Structure 1
Amino acid sequence: MSQTLIKKIAGEFSISKDVAQKIIQLFIDGATVPFIARYRKETTGGMSGEVLREYYNRWQYLVDLEKRRGAILSILKGIPELPKEVFQSIQRAQTKSELEDIYAPYKSIRQSKADLAIEQGLMEFAIQLWSRGNGQAKALYQTLSPRFKKPVSFAETIVGAQEIIIERLSQNTLLINACKQWLFKDGQLVSRVLRGKKESGEKFRDYFDYQEAVQKIPSHRLLALFRGKKESILKLSIEPLSSALPYSLQKVELLTPIGFPLIKEGAISKEKFAWLEKAWLQTLQSKIENDILSDLKNKAERGAIDVFQANLRDLLMAAPAGSKRTLALDPGFRNGVKWAAIDEQGRLLDSGVIFPHPPQNQERRARESITQVLQHFEIEWAVVGNGTASRETEAFVKQVIAEQELSCQCVVVSEAGASVYSASKVAIEEFPDLDVTIRGAISIARRFQDPLAELVKIDPQAIGVGQYQHDVKANRLKQALSDVVEDCVNAVGVDLNLASASLLSYVAGLTERLAQNIVALRDQLGEFTSRDQIKKVKGIGDKAFEQCAGFLRIRNGHEPLDASSVHPESYTLVKQMANSVGMDVASLIGNQTALAKLGQSSSFGGSLAYTYTDIINELAKPGRDPRPEFQYAQFDATISSISDLYSGMTLEGVITNVAAFGAFVDIGVHQDGLVHISQLANRFVKDPRDEVKVGEVVKVEVLEVDEKRKRIALKRVTS
């Protein structure tokens, strides 16, 4: 384990080298982020899962960086007469992109004009010309030309030396970084529409003639600009405010070509600065412009991924309605309303299709069918997907409930991603004999009961809570979203006897194959009665058991602690705690008096202080769910389409997506409205997520309605 790497990461995270090394060793030994965050707090000092995730990613980056550095150094050692400054620059490089920039000139098999000049023996002339200046060129030529490897005219010598100086100057990483910092600080990102693309690129009209300071442009605007560039509508460039290079670049260490001796001079001559201007125009400007555009794109992608991760976390951690008998209705006009009734555990009771709306207008038959389902299965909640005909279907169901005086409630919920699930391999394996539309209705019902357990079956990118997600690198986004799902699943915990293989696969230490093996053994046993039985699952050894056991719950099993987040490795400690107050473990659970006494005791804890505290908190409320209480929006019954809206009206809605520029709200008209960031609060808001989150119920005022463009401008109403 590299001590340099450990020292670096310890400094970045403000921890000791000893702690840094121990955390890295946990990762090397196969420990997962959720496990370390929950059960190794003594090692990390109570580091949060979010920080640990950053730590892990940074460690992986630094490991990859060192591997690449070593590989490049091995290659370059085979190149004769390579300037020692190149090796020094490689050793100093702090990022992969910086490393690749240094290596780039040496991995091309095509010779540059400077390479050809060096082969002619012009390097010494170029060095002396740089040192003494153009006024000595004739004298230098007369002295050095006999040493050239072949005859070269004076004019050709000057051109060749110029190529060497400009190339070597452009390879000075200190100069490159200084130019990049200057252009990033003072540059403007300029966007122009390409010739003949105004009509086809109408959606990018705002950026046809646009510029904004590089360091101020937000991520969402960057992604829009890069999409316009990708679609060949816009041309992007980075332009300095002034065409003149800044005098801050007049430093000896910056204005020294790679492989040239450092010239000790009080001030940089105008002649040398002229060389910089030539290098800027010929090579540096385009290279640095591309570098900055690449950095901006990476920044924009990080911003988009951060937004997506935050929204997905809110959606997955949304309040579950719980174990309620549920009827889900996937609305539609021509193809009817598909329905599915499920029991408290999410098992399908019955399903079908009704046609209460035009063009069939079979309202009486549909009313009879739904009445029978609601009564026969004692349905507690009727949930309607928010797609086409949702408000009409909601009104229909509410009328049935009212007429029959049933103790059932009706609510409209998001159906984003349900169609993706219904056609997926998971859905087909689960319900091979059902129509794809019925599978979608089942997904809507289960999502209402437990959003997390159902949404893990759907590709996160299909859920619809991202910002310019299709402009982000797919692999990078997939890994980031997978991390969020893993963190959420392990934060809540999983019922071992109810969880699907999809849900189990996100438990720390488990894979898809191990999850399927768990389900297979569960089917064989009927149900698990203890965590120890997990060890009998094919493929689960000591390490996998260590990682997953604490996140798997068994209700009403042989061991009371199996229903809690207390890890089996701490069962002995819990028994000692119970004995110290004269109780057994079952009696200690939930006993606030005994737990308060233990909390004040100095007999336990010590080196396990974090674990001891967590155990007491868990025993006070075993298996507690960190998710909030269930709530839902009450849509205005008189509003069903965008044409029903008018400025000034106040409505209740639910946040469906949060972006850097504001929040989208479902107000029940099949078209989400936008609360711009400036309308989220009666004060300046830097980040919309400081005010709202996905799934939150809010009150809004309609500011403006544009039916033609299907745009609804809203203002959040705060009391």
Structure 2
Amino acid sequence: MASELDPTLLHQVNDALSDITQHQLTATLSLLNDGNTIPFVARYRKEMTGSLDEVQIRTIQDTWQHFEKLAIRKAEVTKQITEQQAMTPKLAQQISAATTLQAVEDLYLPYKQKRRTKATIAKEKGLLPFAKWLLTFANQPLDQVATTYLAPDQGLATLADVYAGAHEILAEAFGEEASFRAFIRDYTRSHAKLVVTVKPKGATLDEDGVYQQYYDFEQPLIKMAAYQTLAINRGEKTDILKVNIAVDSSAILNFLRFRIVGHHQGPAVPLVTEAYTDTYKRFIGPAIERELRRELTDTANTHAIQVFGTNLYHLLMQAPMKGQVVLGFDPAYRTGCKLAVIDANGKFLTKLVIYPHKPAPTSKRQAAAGQLHDLLEQYQVTMIAIGNGTASRESETFVAEVLRGIPRDISYVIVNEAGASVYSASQAARDEFPDLHVEERSAISIGRRLQDPLAELVKIDPQSVGVGQYQHDVPNKDLTAQLDTVVETAVNQVGINLNTASAELLTHISGLNQTIATNIITFRNENGRYTDRRQLKQVPRLGPKAYEQAVGFLRIIGGDNPLDNTDIHPESYRAANQILTETGFDVTHLGEPTFIKTMRTLDQQALAAETKAGVETITDIIASLLKPGRDLRDDMPAPLLRHDVLTIEDLQPGMKLQGTVRNVIDFGAFVDIGVKHDGLVHISKLTKRFVKNPAEIVSVGDIVTVWVEEIDQKRQRIQLTMLDPNQ
């Protein structure tokens, strides 16, 4: 972002963001320009931004960067054309008025350095005047004029050579006319269809019929769904599908005739008509098709990345199971199930490998139940987290049988273990548990995912968590940037415990980086737990700006100052203490009934005037005082606890069940109902009203009531509905 805010760019951004005021825009951009992070601005600078949220602030940032990039490109193009001494007042005005990069590139096309074309060669032979004369549509015999351009030594031995050269000059000129391209692009985008067919040997390559629905497929471009585009692209890359854009060219050719020929008549009309027809078929048409295919793909990529980001956010924000002693259970057949016990604070206690499944010897299988029983009792485990990978359902059956023999209440939860193996093999996992095998670390990760999903999932590459659609087909750089943003948002919205946070978690806190995060932990290890937020100022490399940006998101539980366990920023402690003093309380009264009752009756406008703080800040201070140590995730749905097992053979159409939403995609949601395979609720079965986006109805982690609609045991597919069949 530029160090100073360009007034022209500000005006353009303000016009593009009609719901943002000029003051909000200027204040937000100035704050970002000064090195403030988006989470910090959204949380602690509400008076300045008018309480804009993170999404709005990112939109401002993205829009500014778009227009900044556009301005830079306009300057480059203007410079290039001016250096060619080809700039005109009209062209300069057109470049200045362009609102998209595509429009700028269209205007630049005639002046762009290009390889020698047939048109270039024809111009070198002196045929440009003849081509221009043809466009005057003079009522004069063509051959008579063309004869004057014959030049055998230039390769113009016949009239056909002259006409051919003029044709190339006209075709190229028409092809480089920005207004022609703009109309044809818009018309094709609005009226064309994407036509997909199977290649001669495509069906043979597509053994499982993955792309069968696209073997004979037509869809208007404007109605293409993102998942359709990405699926078709993948089918095309694998040489199964043939794809092209079909449009009625008569309207386009009529437009070109109107713009180029108009009401003119005369002998030149057929030659000019042939030239613009050729330029459409040979130059503009194919170029526009490539552009629109790229546009479809870009739109689909953006949408798929947004879907992944939304799902990841809800996955990270799942409610933690606090205060539970958890057994992480990593299922397997031949190599045995790896078990890890984790105490209520996430500390690893012990591990065990058992062999409850074939092909293990009978003796080991018989011993497994007793081993699990003893482990559960010895450590008083209250909850079991079973990974949902290989042997998951068999392990679930085994666990349910063991739990029947234990009188106290122990529940189990099926945990999405996607990416657990990625973390287990990482350097971070090796550093934390150098003496454990990969699978044993994986069991710990599965258990911790139940205790605190956010703290555990930030340790792995977000692309490994398995909650997207076609994530391997979208640009990795764009996906990574979006997912990093989502993780940053989630971590800072929740806040973290400064005395237990991992380096991976700290790295995502506003204002911190890997080096500072490592230094925070080193300082903690060398000096003991933090008891005051101000101790962060002693951490090497953590300067005043980083402290300002980060400290509000870092909590100290049981420290010297109870305000350190709130999301009140230290810069507002004076105002917070003034509120407490004026109401007859102090920090020791936080959470008491009388205190809560009093806080809810305060005049926030009056307090803002007295403390010289903004109303928004006072509102946030009071909310934090009412709920010290609050965790946004506590309001999220808790994991679905199970005590017994269900198989696909147990399912019957019409059966009512509860399940956990595992993934939300364009055409519906996948729900874990406790059998081996997740069931699909099609978008049309989510609600009675029409919805375009399933995310309007459900999110990853939601607990939903579903009814079994159809079971295909052969293909292991389950169709579910969220519409009560009895209503």
Settle same-fold status: TM greater than 0.5: yes
Give the distance between the partners of 1:377 and 1:134, measured in 2 at CA. Answer: 102
Partner SS, residue 699 of structure 2: coil
What is the Cα deviation at residue 20 of structure 1?
1.9
Q: What is the match of residue 245 of structure 1? A: 252
| Deviation sequence 1:566-598 (CA, Å, 0-9, x none) | 111111222222233343344466622332343
Give the distance between the partners of 1:330 and 1:133, measured in 2 at CA. Answer: 85
What is the Cα deviation at residue 149 of structure 1?
10
Give the distance between the partners of 2:607 and 2:567, measured in 1 at CA. Answer: 23
* Preserved CA contact (<8 Å) 1:324 1:449: yes
Q: What is the match of residue 371 of structure 1? A: 373
| Deviation sequence 1:87-118 (CA, Å, 0-9, x none) | 55543433334444554565554112222233
Q: What is the match of residue 360 of structure 1? A: 361
Q: What is the match of residue 596 of structure 2? A: 592
Distance change (3 Å), C-alpha of 1:593 and 1:712: closer
Q: What is the match of residue 238 of structure 2? A: 231
Distance change (3 Å), C-alpha of 1:151 and 1:466: closer
Q: Which runs of 5+ in 2 are unaligned?
A: none
Deviation larger for 481-490 or 20-29: 20-29
Give the distance between the partners of 2:466 and 2:705, measured in 1 at CA. Answer: 22
Give the distance between the partners of 2:472 and 2:84, measured in 1 at CA. Answer: 42
Aligned residue type for 1:685: V
1:712 aligns with 2:712: no
Partner SS, residue 416 of structure 1: coil
Give the distance between the partners of 1:458 and 1:654, measured in 2 at CA. Answer: 22
Give the distance between the partners of 1:576 and 1:160, measured in 2 at CA. Answer: 86
Q: What is the match of residue 418 of structure 1? A: 420
Deviation larger for 567-576 or 288-297: 567-576
1:678 aligns with 2:679: no
Pairing of 1:344-493 with structure 2 (within 5 A): 344-358=344-358, 359-361=360-362, 362-493=364-495
Pairing of 1:235-274 with structure 2 (within 5 A): 235-241=242-248, 243-245=250-252, 247=254, 252=259, 255=260
Give the distance between the partners of 2:128 and 2:469, measured in 1 at CA. Answer: 53
Aligned residue type for 2:280: W
Deviation larger for 463-472 or 619-628: 619-628
TM-score by length of 2: 0.90
Give the distance between the partners of 1:351 and 1:483, measured in 2 at CA. Answer: 35
Give the distance between the partners of 1:349 and 1:249, measured in 2 at CA. Answer: 77
Give the distance between the partners of 2:613 and 2:126, measured in 1 at CA. Answer: 69
Give the distance between the partners of 2:591 and 2:78, measured in 1 at CA. Answer: 60
Pairing of 1:80-479 with structure 2 (within 5 A): 80-81=85-86, 88-103=93-108, 106-132=111-137, 135=140, 137=142, 154-201=159-206, 202-241=209-248, 243-245=250-252, 247=254, 252=259, 255=260, 275-358=275-358, 359-361=360-362, 362-479=364-481
Pairing of 1:547-696 with structure 2 (within 5 A): 547-587=549-589, 591-604=595-608, 608-627=614-633, 628-633=635-640, 637=644, 639-640=646-647, 642-696=648-702
* Preserved CA contact (<8 Å) 1:89 1:173: no
Distance change (3 Å), C-alpha of 1:123 and 1:18: farther
What is the Cα deviation at residue 215 of structure 1?
0.4
* Preserved CA contact (<8 Å) 1:338 1:353: yes
Give the distance between the partners of 2:404 and 2:293, measured in 1 at CA. Answer: 60
Give the distance between the partners of 2:643 and 2:587, measured in 1 at CA. Answer: 51
What is the Cα deviation at residue 397 of structure 1?
2.9
Q: What is the match of residue 68 of structure 1? A: 73
Give the distance between the partners of 1:404 and 1:142, measured in 2 at CA. Answer: 105
Q: What is the match of residue 500 of structure 1? A: 502
TM-score by length of 1: 0.91
Q: What is the match of residue 260 of structure 1? A: none
Give the distance between the partners of 1:89 and 1:265, measured in 2 at CA. Answer: 28
Aligned residue type for 1:95: T
Give the distance between the partners of 1:136 and 1:531, measured in 2 at CA. Answer: 91
* Preserved CA contact (<8 Å) 1:117 1:164: yes
Give the distance between the partners of 2:131 and 2:87, measured in 1 at CA. Answer: 16
What is the Cα deviation at residue 86 of structure 1?
5.7
Distance change (3 Å), C-alpha of 1:350 and 1:172: same
Aligned residue type for 1:171: E
| Deviation sequence 1:112-151 (CA, Å, 0-9, x none) | 22222333343333233213357564565578999x9998
Partner SS, residue 353 of structure 2: strand
* Preserved CA contact (<8 Å) 1:192 1:235: yes
What is the Cα deviation at residue 244 of structure 1?
4.3
Give the distance between the partners of 1:691 and 1:402, measured in 2 at CA. Answer: 36
Deviation larger for 357-366 or 447-456: 357-366
| Deviation sequence 1:653-679 (CA, Å, 0-9, x none) | 211111100111122232222111122
Deviation larger for 527-536 or 116-125: 116-125
Aligned residue type for 2:228: R
Give the distance between the partners of 2:691 and 2:509, measured in 1 at CA. Answer: 36
Give the distance between the partners of 1:108 and 1:170, measured in 2 at CA. Answer: 15
| Deviation sequence 1:268-327 (CA, Å, 0-9, x none) | x97666653332112111011111101000011111111111111111111111131111
1:37 aligns with 2:42: yes
Indicate the percent of aligned positions where both proteins have the same amino acid: 38
Give the distance between the partners of 1:270 and 1:581, measured in 2 at CA. Answer: 90
Partner SS, residue 572 of structure 2: helix
Q: Which runs of 5+ in 1 are unaligned?
A: 257-262
Give the distance between the partners of 1:94 and 1:340, measured in 2 at CA. Answer: 58
* Preserved CA contact (<8 Å) 2:590 2:628: no
Give the distance between the partners of 1:540 and 1:559, measured in 2 at CA. Answer: 21
Count residues with an aligned counterpart.
Answer: 707
* Preserved CA contact (<8 Å) 2:384 2:411: yes
What is the Cα deviation at residue 558 of structure 1?
1.8
What is the Cα deviation at residue 410 of structure 1?
2.3
What is the Cα deviation at residue 85 of structure 1?
6.1
Give the distance between the partners of 1:52 and 1:498, measured in 2 at CA. Answer: 30
Partner SS, residue 668 of structure 1: coil
Please, which of 28, 32, 41 is the counterpart of residue 27 of structure 1?
A: 32
